[in-house]
Structure 1
């Protein structure tokens, strides 16, 4: 049996009961409370507003996330990382651990990977230009496939692999999609949570534009996983497990959603009961990328933390 087959066979069969989540949203809405993503968005606005962050702080926080996504997709699609000219800036510049080109067997997935990689590289260049001399340098990033690396730790937290095993997002089309799934939904919620905090109309317009692109990316990944999951149900189960793991990190509210069908329909677009995408605060986003529900300054995909003033995860 191949390593890829072992990874897929190890995908845990713990599918979160999606109808219970939707009933939770309905109950909260009926009680006249702000629910789901609206609640998270309100928390994001209140918490960040109290710290008086600037537009540059917010864009630099976003730039850290774009460095992570751009490096992952660039290696997976092209076999190389970002050019040195896109890595400099304020703060400590770090290296990338891991990353290699995927030998795609599905040409459609390969084309998606190249498209998303080009978009993410463009986001890095755009944000660096917008921030000019205030742009932060790329921090140290872990996108490797070692047993103790960030991808393996995330997969282990989701129950996809056992103790001491590794998850390699470059080993197959399916593993690549699951690796991408870890990032894309988080990026969408990060931009939605941060957008209300921007004071510049120009920056707000730019953030809205990037948010839309990230949402398109997330939809590509979720749709492809759902389609492949019709023949390989463990892929759909894996999205549910990853979703549950993310929810265990970013607080007590059950926000995250996999792609499993609800009431006979696919769940490509994760929404609250009002049909709105949900948000995460910067602290919640850092909980996920640091792979830690406590208030910490580093870990997971950012071994030395992110650069900039927004760098501590929330205490959950």
Structure 2
């Protein structure tokens, strides 16, 4: 059975970009943060990339198999780079496997509801552990459970480092907010009172704005973060060859810094 520390490391991999301790005194170029108009089909195509990433990461890390082993013919494309089974305790493993299986169902539901052609083209994924620690998980339900699990371990040290789980979530959040380029959109497990709910708490299970409403992320912000490039049209990171779909191709044609 995995040690508690191993569980902490893997949970951090799954929910890396928590938030920042910085207040938004930075002037943000507004054009980089505006939602880009997209059709329903384009939005679903884009979302499938993230569901595929989540399903592949969660399934390979728990059972060592991917989407096509669960639902043959649903997706097609290259096998992920560096996917390995993680060393987890039973509680964590069960939750992560269940969440991965649910993502397969979500992909199938998108196909059924939108009539998008299957098998979905699968982007190249890079799931190597030093890289995965710099990416984000955007599924709200599982995100909250993972945050809760991390919160239970906030004061534990993450070997081989001297930092605690809480420290690491704050650091990764700073990186995520910087890459996203649109101010504070996420927060660590421990925050100053100025960022806590109604300025009355320093604990922070669910990141939220001044009115305790969830932050909204645009497709461009998500791409900047998962590409780890501060540019939504320069693929690298978890998607070394970019993502699939016409929305992303439109982004690449126009260019991140030229989008209206």
Give TM-score scaled by structure 1 length.
0.62
User: Does residue 267 of the first structure (1) align with residue 251 of the second (2)?
Assistant: no
2:58 corresponds to: 73
1:113 to 96, 104, 118: 96
**Once superposed, which parts of structure 1, at least 4 consecutive aligned residues long, lie more than 3 Å away?**
15-18, 133-136, 261-265, 312-316
Counting matched residue pairs gives 224
Offset of residue 16 of structure 1:
8.0
User: Does residue 140 of the first structure (1) align with residue 131 of the second (2)?
Assistant: no
CA RMSD across the alignment = 3.3
Contact between 2:19 and 2:169, CA under 8 Å: does it hold in 1?
Answer: no
Give, in whole Å, the separation in 2 of the partners of 1:273 and 1:79.
41
Structure 1 spans left out of the alignment, 5+ residues = 26-38, 155-181, 188-213
Contact between 2:82 and 2:128, CA under 8 Å: does it hold in 1?
Answer: yes
CA gap of 1:255–1:103, structure 2 versus 1, over 3 A, is closer
C-alpha offsets along residues 5-64 of structure 1, whole Å, 9 cap, x if unaligned? 9x97xx9xxx9874x63xx69xxxxxxxxxxxxx99x822xxx22xxx211110010001
1:177 corresponds to: none
CA gap of 1:260–1:315, structure 2 versus 1, over 3 A, is farther
1:100 corresponds to: 84
2:217 to 276, 280, 297: 280
1 or 2, which has the higher helix percentage? Answer: 1
1:250 corresponds to: 180
2:132 to 136, 151, 159: 151
Q: Which moved more, 1:305-314 or 1:284-293?
A: 305-314
Give, in whole Å, the separation in 1 of the partners of 2:19 and 2:111.
39
Q: Which moved more, 1:93-102 or 1:78-87?
A: 93-102
CA gap of 1:63–1:183, structure 2 versus 1, over 3 A, is same
Contact between 1:95 and 1:139, CA under 8 Å: does it hold in 2?
Answer: no
Contact between 1:282 and 1:310, CA under 8 Å: does it hold in 2?
Answer: no
1:224 to 145, 149, 155: 149
Give, in whole Å, the separation in 1 of the partners of 2:51 and 2:240.
16
C-alpha offsets along residues 167-192 of structure 1, whole Å, 9 cap, x if unaligned? xxxxxxxxxxxxxxx432xx2xxxxx
Q: Which moved more, 1:68-77 or 1:106-115?
A: 106-115
2:136 to 167, 179, 183: 183
User: Does residue 126 of the first structure (1) align with residue 126 of the second (2)?
Assistant: no
Contact between 1:69 and 1:183, CA under 8 Å: does it hold in 2?
Answer: no
1:291 corresponds to: 228
Structure 2 spans left out of the alignment, 5+ residues = 13-17, 158-162, 194-200
Offset of residue 252 of structure 1:
4.5
Offset of residue 130 of structure 1:
2.5
Q: Which protein, 1 or 2, shows the higher relative CO under an 8 Å CA cutoff with sep ≥ 6?
A: 2
